[in-house]
Amino acid sequence: MSDLVILLILLATGYTFGQLAERRHYRSIIKREQMLRDLPVIATKFPPMYKTPPRSFLVTGSVVISVDYFKRFIAALRNLIGGRVTSYESLIDRARREAILRMKEQAVQMGGKMIFNVKLETASISKGAKDRIGSVEVLAYGTALADKQPGHT
């Protein structure tokens, strides 16, 4: 009986805080995406040719995000019947967008005008404890091009 009570408490806290955290995170993602809209992120390998060659440098962004207890519980239930695991979909979406945003922020800081050859990698720092952690690690990287004078934005 007490086990059930603990489970219910965990589910309730997970649901409340998880939803709050997710909503707050999505708001911040959308706001920052609006702010950084002017910086194009392009997946092509070949930048356009310039008369005056730009500076180029590597930019990276990474994030580790975990799901809450409630969502993991739902995902475990979903495993029984199969189908879309929506609770993990939003997790991965948040992680990817956050990683790209951090990469863009770094590029802006260093005076980048656009980012080329963007690669997304799902990293695995906590792979050994994957079942217990239920988190996702995303690394985004690319090459930023900037004007020749350093610090110029």
Please report, for the chain, how many H helices and E strands are present, in that order. Answer: 4, 3
Residue 123 binding other proteins, by CB under 8 A: yes
Residue 128 binding other proteins, by CB under 8 A: yes
Residue among 8 and 82 whose Cβ is closer to other proteins: 8
User: Residue 30 CB, nearest distance to other proteins (Å)?
Assistant: 17
Token pair 């580790």 in the structure block, residue: 64
Residue 66 binding other proteins, by CB under 8 A: yes
User: Residue 133 CB, nearest distance to other proteins (Å)?
Assistant: 6
CB-based burial, 95-121: b 16+ in 10 Å, e otherwise? bbbbbbbbbbbbbbeebbbbbbebebe
Tokens of 99: 């990683």
Task: Give the x/- contact pattern for other proteins in 5-44, rule: CB under 8 A.
Answer: -----x--xx--xx--xx--x-------------------
DSSP state string for 131-153: HHH-EEEEEEEEEEEE-SSTT--
Residue among 102 and 108 whose Cβ is closer to other proteins: 102
